[in-house]
Amino acid sequence: MSRKMKNKVVTNLPIERIATEGKCVGHHDGKVVFVSGVAPGDVVDVRITKGRSSFMEGEPVKFHQYSKDRVEAFCSHFGTCGGCKWQHINYELQKNYKRQQVLDQFQRIAKVETPEISPIVGSEKTTYYRNKLDFTFSNKKWLTLEQIQSEDEFDRNALGFHIPKMFDKIVDVDHCYLQGGISNDVRNELRAFALENELSFYDIRNQVGLLRNLIIRTTSTGQTMVIVQFGESDLELIPKVMEFLKIRFPEITSLLYVINTKGNETFHDLELVTYAGLPYIEEEMEGLKFRIGPKSFYQTNSEQAYELYKITRDFAELKGDEIVYDLYTGTGTIANFVAKKAKQVIGVEYVEAAIADAKINSQINGIENTLFYAGDMKEILNDEFIENHAAPDVIITDPPRAGMDEKVVQMLLKLAAPKIVYVSCNPATQARDLALLGEKYDVQKVQPVDMFPQTYHVENVVLLTLKK
C-alpha cells in the first residue's frame, strides 16, 4: 500500500522532531514520514518520494505554518547545495538536537548504561569554521527551474559542490560561508580565468577535461594550501593555470597540483607537484606545531579540534607514567598533544603519508616519547604488536565514520586497558561498538562537541573504564 503513496501529497503534516541524519519526522496513517528541509513545529504538505511498508520519505511542497525555531537561511545556495542543511534552524536548537541524537543512538543501539550526556560544547564560529573545502569542476552545471524554463542560453561550466545524490551535477558556488580567508576569491577568480581562457571543465561521464578539482586548506595561523587536480596532462595549460594562481594570490603558502586521469578523484596514490611555496601548511595548538601535507587528514574545524583534544586529554587523566595507544592517529595530532603527560604514546594509522607527518610533528616539537606505525588497524593491532610494545594503560581511539572493525573491538577487549577514550564522528557506529565493549567496560562520561554548525553532524567523546 505504501509504495502506492509515491508522488502522492500528504497534507497538513505536523513536523514533530528531528531524527537521524538531520531529517525530520511526522506521522501519517500510523506510519513515520521522514521529511528533509523542514523544522520541528512546521506544518507542511509533503510529496512522498519513497513509500515502504514501515515508513515513507518525502519533501515539503507547501508550508501552512512555520516553526518558531526557524531562522532565515543566509546562503543563496541553501536548498540546492548539500552542505549547511540546518541553517534554517536556530543554533541553540541545533545544539540541543545534536545532543539528542547522541542520546537516541545510545538508547537505541548501545543499550548500555550511560551517565547523563553533558550539554554539547558549541562552536563560537557558526560560519567560516572549516579549514578545508573541496570544489569540483564540471561541465554539468545544476540549473534552476527558472533557468531551464527561460529561453536564454546558459554556460554549463561550474565550479562548486555536488548536488546531493547526483554525481555529475554541480552547484556553481558564488559564495561559501564555510571557509574564510581567500577561499571564495580563489575559487571565483580561478573559474573566471578558466572561462576567459576557454579551458575545459571536467566531464565526469566521459572522463575528459582539463580542470577537475580544487582543494583549499587554511590554518588558524593564516597559511593557505591550494591543490588543483587536472584530468589531463597538458604541459602547456597546466603551468598557465598554476602561474595565474601564484601571481594573483601571493598569500598562498603552498601551491600544488596533481594530474589525475583515473576514474575517481582520490589522489592518495598519485604524486603531487609543489608549484610554489612549501609542500605543507602548519597548524598550531598550545605552542605545538602540526604539519599538514596535501594527503593528510586534519580535523576540519581547527578551533573545535582544540576543544575536542582538550576533552580527550582531560578524560584520559594522564599522570605521566602511562603507555597510551592513539588508534587512528591521522597526523598524530592527539598523540603529540597528550605526549607531554604520558610515558609513551604509540600512534597507529593506515595512511603512510599521515604517519610520516606524525613523526615529523613529533620531531619539530622536540617530542621524543612517541612511536608511529602505518597499517590497517585490524591487521597491525595483533598479538605480535602487543608483545613488541608495552600493554596500554589508556587507549584513545578516533576511527572514521564506519567505526571500528569488529576485530579491532575484540582486540581492545582482549587488551583490557584500564581506560578507553573513544572519540567519534558518528554516534551510531560508536553506539554499536560500545554495545560490544560493554562486556568489559562501563561508560563513565559522554561529551558531545559541535564541530560542524549548520549540519546535523556531531562529534562525541566517551570515557570507558574497565569493570571492577
Ligand X SMILES: C[S@@+](CC[C@H](N)C(=O)[O-])C[C@H]1O[C@@H](n2cnc3c(N)ncnc32)[C@H](O)[C@@H]1O
Angle between helical axes of 183-196 and 237-248 (0-180°, round to 10) = 140
Per CB under 6 A, which region of 124-132, 264-272, 392-400, 431-439 contacts ligand X?
392-400
Q: Which is nearer to ligand X, 33 or 423 (CB)?
A: 423
Q: Is 18 in the site for ligand X (CB under 6 A)?
A: no
Shortest-Cβ-distance residue relative to ligand X: 330
User: What is the smallest separation between the CB atom of 328 and ligand X, expressed in angstroms?
Assistant: 3
Question: What is the layout of strands, in order, in the sheet containing 459-466?
Answer: 370-374, 344-349, 323-327, 394-397, 419-424, 459-466, 441-449
* 404 touches ligand X by CB under 6 A: no
The tally of CA atoms less than 13 A away on the side-chain side of residue 205 is 6
* Catalytic-labelled residue, pool 75, 81, 84, 425: 425
Q: Give DSSP secondary structure letters for 152-185.
A: S-----EEEEEETTEEEEEEE-S--TT--TTHHH
In residues, how long is the chain? Answer: 468
Any residues with CB less than 8 A from the CB of 152 and at least 6 apart, and which?
none
* 376 sits near ligand X (criterion: CB under 6 A): yes
According to the binding rule CB under 6 A, does residue 397 interact with ligand X? no
Angle among Cα 184, 95, 434 to the nearest 5 degrees reads 110
Q: Which of residues 176-235 bind ligand X (CB under 6 A)?
A: none
Closer CB to ligand X, 139 or 299, in the complex: 299
Q: Would you say 102 or 334 has its CB closer to ligand X?
A: 334
425 is catalytic: yes
Strands 211-218 and 224-230: antiparallel
> Which DSSP string corresponds to 32-58?
EEEESS--TT-EEEEEEEEE-SSEEEE
Closest distance to ligand X from the beta carbon of 41 (Å): 34
The three-state secondary structure class of 390 is coil
In whole angstroms, what is the distance from residue 357 CA to residue 329 CA?
11
Q: Cβ of residue 449: shortest distance to ligand X, in angstroms?
A: 12
User: Could you say which of 354, 395, 411, 412 contacts ligand X (CB under 6 A)?
Assistant: 354
Q: Is 430 in the site for ligand X (CB under 6 A)?
A: no
The grid coordinates listed for 390 are 608495552
Residue ranges in 292-311 that form contacts with ligand X under rule CB under 6 A: 297-299
Task: Quote the CA–CA distance of 291 and 283 in Å, as a whole number.
Answer: 6
Determine whether the annotation assigns residue 328 to a binding site.
yes
The least distance separating ligand X from the CB of residue 362, rounded to whole angstroms, comes to 14
Beta bridge partners of 372: 347
Q: Does 412 bind ligand X (CB under 6 A)?
A: no
58 near ligand X, judged by CB under 6 A: no
Interface with ligand X, residue 334, by CB under 6 A: yes
Residue 58 or residue 294: which is nearer to ligand X going by CB? 294
Q: Rounded to 5, what percent of the chain is helix, strand, coil?
A: 25, 30, 45
185 is in an annotated binding site: no
Instruction: Pick one of 48, 120, 351, 449: the residue that binds ligand X (CB under 6 A).
Output: 351
Binding positions for S-adenosyl-L-methionine are 299, 328, 349, 398
Binding site for ligand X (CB under 6 A): 297-299, 328-330, 333-334, 349-351, 354, 376-377, 398-400, 425
Show binding-site residues.
Answer: 299, 328, 349, 398
Q: Which residues carry out catalysis?
A: 425
